[in-house]
Amino acid sequence: MATIYKKKYPIPMPDGAEIIIRRGQKLARWESGKGQVRMAPVLDDQHVQFVSDCWYARYRDANGKMWRESTGCRDRQAAEKVLADILSRMDRVRSGVMSHDEMTASGQLESPIDGHVKAYLAQLAVKTIRGRRVSPQYVGHVRDSLDRLVRECGLQRLKDINRLTLQRWMNKLGQTPRDIDDPESVPVAARTINMHRAAILAFSNWCVSEGRMSANPLAGLPKAEESEPTRKRRALTEDEIARLLKTAKERPLREALTIRTGKNKGKPLAKVGDDEQRRLERLGEDRALAYKFMMLTGLRRGEVASLAVNAVCLDENSPYVHVEGKHAKSGRAATLPLRGNLAEDLRKHIARLGGGGSTPPDALLFNIGRNFLRTFDLDLAAAGIVKRDAQGRTVDVHSMRHTFATLLARGGVTPGVAQKLLRHSDIRLTMNTYTHLDLADTAGAVAALPTF
């Protein structure tokens, strides 16, 4: 027999509850955390009987199994309508018009979307890809994207997700300025729109895999057209590399010695103790070595941040660094050679880490903290290297990987070898995106042509 009911269960007596008598029944009255006045029958001195706000449905499915689930309705008539819809689907399953899986999915479509999003984010937070746990930052980005989509597209239930609604939202987002009151405000970038699209597509695919949807209603949803990359990077020149390394090495101590206020402002006259001076010198040396390491190995910032001391092998005839698959972007482990002078610098660096004793093999090779990006920008400015040039190309931390690729090309390394060192799956990415050769580089190749 199918019926609707409200759940009743004991809860501890709320703090500050007032006991009143109404129609001969003892009730507890209190104010909830949201400022609402609640009342419930008193069971004993320590408990009250709490009644759920929403109605629940109790019914048997086509296989005779008893089910109890929330209708999500506070109104009795609305809850009875939900139960009637459930029983109608049961009759369709019994008659063979609908399969049990289709019936389950259709029932999920009527439930609030918030619960499905919470379940998806909870599963995403513990998911591993190629042995690596999904980062909390990525989960946060997905949460923000889905929250925005749910809010701005008016998605209340799972059935509200449809291709037409999402297409209209994407078009509006790409045409409307971010700030209507600002005449210079531009619409949201196509890359950002596609990020939101990827989030809702992944969520919909998960709903299908979990049996919450029978099919993805967003299949075939086109991407926003990206005319060109939002950020065009460039490689550093050899002169810029030398200035950057010198600045990174000297800046910590130089800034500590610089007077900030008063008549001697800007002069290197501040008093710094010997121990602090040595610490700042080591800090500069370590930072400069980290930059040098990234430009001579092509490793990404996250990969370098994950390296432990035992990841580098300096005692072999051919020194190398080993990147574990769980830390590599591709998920595949890699072994990369180290140039001789870089290996010697690393040997001294590891000895400094031990402070005169042996360095723990699991100690981090470099301290790549949260402020690494900002520190790099400050070093660029101090070295007189412009962040963005006249052609709109920028220099950032990832530009050191571009610098590695460009140095390989200038050194005559064949494209196939460069692709292997950069660990690219497509050689076009190596040659077209990461390799930056200017007119001076290509002029030498033209000059090498034979004379006719």
C-alpha to C-alpha distance for 423 and 408, rounded to whole angstroms? 14
Residue 451 lies in a domain: no
Residue 75 lies in a domain: yes
Last residue of a domain, one of 67, 98, 129: 98
Looking at the fold, whether 49 and 123 belong to one and the same domain comes out as no
C-alpha to C-alpha distance for 191 and 208, rounded to whole angstroms? 26
Looking at the fold, whether 20 and 130 belong to one and the same domain comes out as no
Tell me how far the alpha carbon of residue 12 is from its chain's centroid: 41
Query: CA distances (Å), 182 to each of 179, 185, 186, 187, 191, in order?
Result: 5, 5, 9, 11, 22
> Are 407 and 240 spatial neighbours (Cβ–Cβ below 8 Å)?
no
Residue 335 lies in a domain: yes
Predicted pLDDT of residue 436: 82
Predicted pLDDT of residue 372: 92
What mean pLDDT do residues 83-107 have?
A: 66
pLDDT tens digits for range 60-89: 876 777 878 888 788 889 888 888 887 877
- Give yes or no for residue 188 having a pLDDT over 90: no
Looking at the fold, whether 330 and 437 belong to one and the same domain comes out as yes
State the alpha helices, DSSP H only, in 258-398. 274-297, 301-306, 340-353, 372-382
- Give yes or no for residue 103 having a pLDDT over 60: no
Asked which of 96-100, 228-232, 273-277 is least confident by mean pLDDT, the reply is: 96-100
Residue 214 lies in a domain: no
Count Cβ atoms within 10 A of the Cβ of residue 90 and give its class: 0-12 exposed, 13-18 middle, 19 or more buried.
Answer: buried
Of the pLDDT bands very low, low, confident and very high (cuts 50, 70, 90), residue 272 is: confident
Q: Compute the Cα dihedral for 295, 296, 301, 305 and give only its sign.
A: negative
Number of domains in the chain: 3
Looking at the fold, whether 12 and 68 belong to one and the same domain comes out as yes
Residue 260 lies in a domain: yes
Residue 215 lies in a domain: no
> Could you tell me the residue range of the domain that residue 162 belongs to?
113-209
What mean pLDDT do residues 352-377 have?
A: 87
- Give yes or no for residue 149 having a pLDDT over 60: yes
User: Higher model confidence: residue 186 or residue 129?
Assistant: 129
The CB-based long-range contact list for 404-412 (8 Å cut-off, 24+ gap) reads 404/294, 404/295, 404/296, 404/297, 404/298, 405/235, 405/298, 405/430, 405/434, 405/435, 405/436, 406/235, 406/434, 406/435, 406/436, 406/437, 407/235, 407/295, 408/435, 409/435, 409/437, 409/441, 410/437, 410/441
- Give yes or no for residue 300 having a pLDDT over 80: yes
Query: CA distances (Å), 73 to each of 60, 87, 109, 248, 431, in order?
Result: 20, 17, 15, 63, 59
Predicted pLDDT of residue 74: 84
Task: Return the half-sphere exposure (C-beta side, CA atoms, 13 A cut-off) of residue 423.
Answer: 19
Of the pLDDT bands very low, low, confident and very high (cuts 50, 70, 90), residue 115 is: confident
| End-to-end Cα separation, the chain, in angstroms | 98
Of the pLDDT bands very low, low, confident and very high (cuts 50, 70, 90), residue 263 is: confident
C-alpha to C-alpha distance for 180 and 186, rounded to whole angstroms? 9
Asked which of 133-137, 301-305, 312-316, 443-447 is least confident by mean pLDDT, the reply is: 443-447
Looking at the fold, whether 74 and 131 belong to one and the same domain comes out as no
What mean pLDDT do residues 329-352 have?
A: 89
What mean pLDDT do residues 311-337 have?
A: 87
Looking at the fold, whether 392 and 320 belong to one and the same domain comes out as yes
- Give yes or no for residue 15 having a pLDDT over 60: yes
Predicted pLDDT of residue 130: 66
C-alpha to C-alpha distance for 347 and 361, rounded to whole angstroms? 13
- Give yes or no for residue 452 having a pLDDT over 70: no
Residue 221 lies in a domain: no
Of the pLDDT bands very low, low, confident and very high (cuts 50, 70, 90), residue 93 is: low
Looking at the fold, whether 415 and 286 belong to one and the same domain comes out as yes
Looking at the fold, whether 404 and 301 belong to one and the same domain comes out as yes
Predicted pLDDT of residue 232: 86
Tell me how far the alpha carbon of residue 422 is from its chain's centroid: 23
Predicted pLDDT of residue 164: 92
Asked which of 106-110, 331-335, 380-384 is least confident by mean pLDDT, the reply is: 106-110
> Are 46 and 31 spatial neighbours (Cβ–Cβ below 8 Å)?
no
What mean pLDDT do residues 17-24 have?
A: 86
pLDDT tens digits for range 33-43: 777 888 888 88
Looking at the fold, whether 387 and 238 belong to one and the same domain comes out as yes
Predicted pLDDT of residue 446: 67
Nearest to 413 by CA among 438, 428, 430, 395: 430
pLDDT tens digits for range 208-218: 888 788 788 89
> Are 289 and 326 spatial neighbours (Cβ–Cβ below 8 Å)?
no
Residue 195 lies in a domain: yes
Please, what is the Cα angle at 360 between 359 and 361, to 5 degrees?
Answer: 110
Looking at the fold, whether 181 and 142 belong to one and the same domain comes out as yes
Looking at the fold, whether 266 and 387 belong to one and the same domain comes out as yes
User: Higher model confidence: residue 182 or residue 137?
Assistant: 137
> Are 334 and 323 spatial neighbours (Cβ–Cβ below 8 Å)?
yes
Q: How many CB atoms lie within 10 A of CB 256?
A: 16
Looking at the fold, whether 384 and 253 belong to one and the same domain comes out as yes
